[in-house]
Amino acid sequence: MTESEIKRTEPEPAAVAKEPEKHVVLALENVSKRFCRDLKRSLFYGVKDIASELIGRAQPADRLRESEFWATRDINFELRSGDAMGIVGINGCGKTTLMRIIAGLIKPTTGRVIVRGRLAPLLALGAGFNPVLTGRENIIANMSVLGLTYEEIMERFDSVVEFSEIGYAIDAPVQTYSSGMVARLGFACAINTQPDILLLDEVLAVGDMNFRRKCLERLFEMRSTGMSLIMVHHSPGILMSIAETALYLDRGRVEDYGLIAPILKRYQRDLAASQPGAKNGPAEEDDVEILGSEEADLREVTVEAVDGGDIKSGGDAAVIARIHVKKPLEQLNFTLLLYRLPSLEELPTVGEKRSVVLKMVSRRDGGSVSKVQPGDYEVRVDLPALGLLEGHYQATFRLSRPVRVTLAARSCEPFFVMSEDPVVTGTYFQKREWSVTSSAGSRISTEKFHAAAETADDLMDLETINVGGLR
């Protein structure tokens, strides 16, 4: 199962141990919410709603009034203690609305939400910080708004300051803080309320890498003591490293609900399908697909393993481009770009660039040709001992002439690089050989890898990597 399942086998308080079945801390039953797109009308409906609330009407009509739409519709799910759920879906699918309903900020139009225990909503970091007041004063106000007594705040004050790493500026007004400092302080306040349920809405997007890692580590720690978590985050990598289940929303409805990996996969696929040309489409501006120009055409770009089998990390591969030159060219340059594509570990979302893993330029490598006559040519780039890690990739080939005039650019079909490495930690594949030699010079035989030897240590190692987002 997932990392957290493994963690949960650690000793827990006796009260929990007696009760092997984790109790439900949050339940949503047929929760729907309607919103109005027209502000004037929205305010008028607001007054009407208040009036009918005062009259004490029963269940409101399950229909839309003019200009209204369902922001969320018939949402059902349960969250048990220690569970972590991610919510995915494109902008406007109702993620934030759902979070706000769960937080109790807005009333569902139909259905109900049952919350058991203390819930800390972190829908915006440092919400309600007064810029004029010092960090110290804001901690007190913020945590008391989150439901702590003054005594409890004083007890936890030091750990908030320590976690947020702003001890040196604690008596300076918050308006002098950087946005990262404000985010750290907000996060530290929220988690130190020790909630039973934590709601995180895109709040880990701010702050530097180290702080983010620290936050993730703390979230893991808190989950192991039974805290439940619901999070909305744009990065599937972060979602995968924390949540084990996911709710996929589409136009307010639950499109899918279950284990996170298949759902993210499906969401990404839907996302790609909804964007015309996204599959082969270039994401970088300098990489617009131009199949040809008056001077030259790019007919085909393929990637293959030299031995004709699967493309493997460490194996020999080649990229082959078939070009057609129409006019004599003084000089012809080639550029080969390798992109890493959405895979389960690191799926870029809309607007996020495919990451270039390697850019190879013939001009620098001595691969350019001059005085090219019209005709058909095949350009071959050999890539011996491929250094790519397992995953999906795509290659874009570009023809250009000086000075940086692109004649044609074309991407190959996405390809998959296989790896025999069981667990890869790192950023590239290194072909290697191990040997152990005694001082006498005789070679000692080394052992083959056994899957059964995978100990808890290895798994812990994996978890640390996930937490750190090192993938």
Partner 1 sequence: MSLESGHHQTAVYGADSLLLQPGKLLLAIWHDVLACRQLAFILAVRDLRAQYRQSLFGIFWILAPPIIVAVGLTVAKKNNLIDLGDTKLPTLAFTLIGMSIWQMFATAVSGPLQVLGSYRSILTKVVVPPEAIIASSLVKLSITVVLQIVLIVFACIWFRLPVTGQTIFALPAMVCVVLSGTAIGLILTPVGLLYRDIALAIPIIEKGLLIVTPVLYTSNHLARGGFFATTVRLNPLGPLIETTRQLISGEHLTQLPQFFGVLGLMAILLVFGLIFVRVAMPLVIERWSA
Q: How far is the CB of 232 from partner 1 (least distance, A)?
A: 14
Measured from the CB atom, the residue of 46 and 374 that comes closer to partner 1 is 46
Measured from the CB atom, the residue of 122 and 242 that comes closer to partner 1 is 122
Measured from the CB atom, the residue of 154 and 273 that comes closer to partner 1 is 154
Instruction: Give the neighbor-by-neighbor strand order of the sheet with 245-250.
Output: 119-122, 197-201, 228-232, 84-88, 245-250, 253-259
Residue in the structure block whose two tokens are 């990404």: 268
Which of 6, 16, 90, 133 touches partner 1 (CB under 8 A)?
133
Q: How far is the CB of 469 from partner 1 (least distance, A)?
A: 26
Q: Are 267 and 260 in contact (CB under 8 A)?
A: no
Our measurement of the distance from residue 368's CA atom to the centroid of its chain's CA atoms, rounded to an integer in Å, reads 39
Q: How far is the CB of 445 from partner 1 (least distance, A)?
A: 56
Which of 55, 209, 444, 456 touches partner 1 (CB under 8 A)?
55
Measured from the CB atom, the residue of 142 and 268 that comes closer to partner 1 is 142
Which of 1, 14, 17, 47 touches partner 1 (CB under 8 A)?
47
Which of 64, 124, 350, 405 touches partner 1 (CB under 8 A)?
124
Residue in the structure block whose two tokens are 């308006």: 175
Which of 6, 24, 206, 462 touches partner 1 (CB under 8 A)?
24
Q: Are 298 and 397 in contact (CB under 8 A)?
A: yes
Which of 16, 90, 141, 459 touches partner 1 (CB under 8 A)?
141
Q: Is the dihedral of CA 197, 201, 205, 208 positive or negative?
A: negative
Tokens coding 88: 């995915």
At 354, which amino acid appears?
A: R
Residue 414 to residue 121: CA distance in whole angstroms: 41
145 contacts partner 1 (rule: CB under 8 A): yes
| Angle, in degrees to the nearest 10, between helices 150-164 and 179-191 | 140
Residue 342 to residue 264: CA distance in whole angstroms: 11
118 contacts partner 1 (rule: CB under 8 A): yes
Stretch of residues binding partner 1 (CB under 8 A), selected from 15-23, 281-289, 392-400, 444-452: 15-23
Measured from the CB atom, the residue of 8 and 299 that comes closer to partner 1 is 8
Residue 289 three-state SS: coil
Which of 8, 16, 60, 469 touches partner 1 (CB under 8 A)?
60
Measured from the CB atom, the residue of 113 and 261 that comes closer to partner 1 is 113
CB half-sphere exposure, 245, CA atoms < 13 A: 16
Measured from the CB atom, the residue of 106 and 405 that comes closer to partner 1 is 106
67 contacts partner 1 (rule: CB under 8 A): no
57 contacts partner 1 (rule: CB under 8 A): yes
Tokens coding 274: 């909804």
Residue in the structure block whose two tokens are 């790896």: 419
Pairing state of beta strands 415-417 and 391-401?
A: antiparallel
Which of 23, 327, 353, 431 touches partner 1 (CB under 8 A)?
23
Nearest to 229 by CA among 369, 356, 79: 79
130 contacts partner 1 (rule: CB under 8 A): yes
Measured from the CB atom, the residue of 54 and 451 that comes closer to partner 1 is 54
Q: Please report, as residue ranges, which positions from 78 to 117 form the binding site for partner 1 (by CB under 8 A).
A: 100-101, 103-117
Nearest to 270 by CA among 324, 347, 215, 336: 347
Stretch of residues binding partner 1 (CB under 8 A), selected from 20-28, 254-262, 309-317, 392-400: 20-28
Tokens coding 422: 């069981």
The maximal CA–CA distance of the chain, rounded, in angstroms, is 95
Q: How far is the CB of 413 from partner 1 (least distance, A)?
A: 45
Stretch of residues binding partner 1 (CB under 8 A), selected from 37-45, 343-351, 360-368, 407-415: 37-45
Stretch of residues binding partner 1 (CB under 8 A), selected from 145-153, 162-170, 340-348, 416-424: 145-153
Stretch of residues binding partner 1 (CB under 8 A), selected from 6-14, 122-130, 316-324, 407-415: 122-130
Tokens coding 56: 């004490």
Q: Where are the beta strands (DSSP E) in 260-316?
A: 296-305
Question: At a CB cut-off of 8 Å and minimum separation 6, what does 153 contact?
Answer: 139, 140, 143, 144
Residue 188 to residue 139: CA distance in whole angstroms: 9
Q: How far is CA 305 from CA 315, 384, 388, in A?
A: 7, 10, 13
Measured from the CB atom, the residue of 24 and 222 that comes closer to partner 1 is 24
List contacts with partner 1 (CB under 8 A). Answer: 19, 21, 23-24, 27, 35-36, 42-43, 45-47, 49-50, 52-60, 100-101, 103-119, 121, 123-124, 127-128, 130, 132-133, 137, 140-141, 144-146, 149-150, 196
